[in-house]
Amino acid sequence: MICNDIHSALTPLLARYDENQIIVLMDDKLSFDSSYPTLRLKIDETHKSIETVSSIWNFLIERNITRRGVLVCIGGGVLTDIGGFAAATYKRGIDYINIPTTLLAMIDASSGGKTGVNFKGLKNAIGCFAQPKETIIWPGWLKSLPSAEFLSGFGEMLKTGLLDEHLWLNLLQYDLASMEIEPLTSLIEQCIAVKERIVTADPKEDGLRKVLNLGHTFGHALEEVSWMLHGYAVLYGLIAELYVSVVKLGCPKEPLQQLTQIMLQYYDRPKCNCKDRRQLIALMQQDKKNERAAEINCTLIQNIGSPVINQVITPDEANEALEYLFSL
């Protein structure tokens, strides 16, 4: 739910629980007055670990939280992924509520029920599906968000937009230079609605949900070769995958041109370059989403709002798409 005030959204939800069974988990960069016991966590990908989850379990045990307890998770996607996993595994699962505070977490990480931590250098290697009782979105958090994090979240919004024509047209109207929150609110709502529609049809990622991986086959490889915020990698990945969509599936060129324009106007160019192509292709061939070894498997689009999953592309096709991306 989208709200204007967190306390008034949260209070009726928490009324279902005993006063002493409510725990708050919060990113230590945020300031929020909570009258409940609060565990503040230092947040970055290196803390997205089983050790952090263990510290949450400890906090819950020390405060005698029973199976009727609830964990309120306030933070970005790292915190909501860890908090959801800690809640889902504590005493075989207690309730949790997400209050996402980054744009990426609002439109992606805090809904859909995927939770987890990194393990032995593998991203999100340990985790489970567990739906939050509620996700409360207060766009006011975005005022303090660094602009690079804002752009990263918007990259993932553009991906969602390519899955729904109406949303795509609305996203193109948004003035990204302003980063104004008021006109963004309805776009956040629309992105969540598109994701929810897809996730409801395929809660455990058996098929259809793979459309949400658009941009991510190239994106994940780019992220591995050089450090960048996730939504930037997704945007570069979208450009490469739309290029392949044009060549292979006859997708109209317009969305590719629009995305390219957005990238050139608001984002840095990718830090990788043509020298990295061989390594990028090798990484895509090893992607854990592949059904057969050494294949490059992507979600592509035939047009805006018409994605197709499980498209196997050749190394030559991938190479040409990377050439286009790095020529920009």
Q: Which residue of 22, 27, 85, 267 would you call a contact of ligand NAD, by CB under 6 A? A: 27
Structure tokens at 21: 């069974």
Dihedral class, residue 135 (left if φ above 0, else alpha if ψ from -120 to 50, else beta): beta
Asked if residues 95 and 133 have their Cβ atoms less than 8 Å apart, the reply is: yes
Smallest separation, CB 70 to ligand NAD (Å):
19
Chain centroid offset of residue 284 CA: 20
Smallest separation, CB 204 to ligand NAD (Å):
13
Asked if residues 217 and 233 have their Cβ atoms less than 8 Å apart, the reply is: no
Q: Which residue of 24, 43, 192, 325 would you call a contact of ligand NAD, by CB under 6 A? A: 43
Of the pair 110, 297, the CB lying nearest ligand NAD is at 110
Show contacts with ligand NAD in window 182-241 (CB under 6 A).
Answer: 230
Strands 22-27, 70-75: pairing kind? parallel
Smallest separation, CB 98 to ligand NAD (Å):
10
Tell me which amino acid residue 272 is: C
Smallest separation, CB 136 to ligand NAD (Å):
14
104 binds ligand NAD (CB under 6 A): yes
Q: Which residue of 22, 109, 184, 272 would you call a contact of ligand NAD, by CB under 6 A? A: 109
97 binds ligand NAD (CB under 6 A): no
List the one residue out of 252, 218, 240 whose CA is nearest residue 321: 240
Report d(CA 130, CA 133) in Å as an integer. Answer: 9
Half-sphere exposure of 193 (CA within 13 A, CB side): 10
Smallest separation, CB 129 to ligand NAD (Å):
10
Structure tokens at 57: 């379990």
Show contacts with ligand NAD in window 126-185 (CB under 6 A).
Answer: 141, 144-145, 149, 152
Smallest separation, CB 262 to ligand NAD (Å):
19
Asked if residues 145 and 198 have their Cβ atoms less than 8 Å apart, the reply is: no
Structure tokens at 20: 């002493």
* 21-57 as b/e: b if 16+ CB within 10 A: bbbbbbbeebebeeeeebbebebeeebbeeebbeebb
Q: Which residue of 98, 114, 241, 318 would you call a contact of ligand NAD, by CB under 6 A? A: 114
108 binds ligand NAD (CB under 6 A): yes
> In angstroms, how far apart are the furthest CA atoms of the chain?
61
Structure tokens at 210: 């793979």
Show contacts with ligand NAD in window 73-92 (CB under 6 A).
Answer: 75-79, 81
102 binds ligand NAD (CB under 6 A): yes
Smallest separation, CB 242 to ligand NAD (Å):
20
Phi–psi pair at 118, nearest 5 degrees = -80, 155
Smallest separation, CB 95 to ligand NAD (Å):
17
Question: By CB under 6 A, which span of 50-58, 87-95, 98-106, 306-314 interacts with ligand NAD?
Answer: 98-106
Of the pair 81, 287, the CB lying nearest ligand NAD is at 81
Report d(CA 181, CA 131) in Å as an integer. Answer: 27
Residues in contact with ligand NAD by the rule CB under 6 A: 27, 29-30, 43, 48, 75-79, 81, 101-102, 104-105, 108-109, 112, 114, 124, 141, 144-145, 149, 152, 230
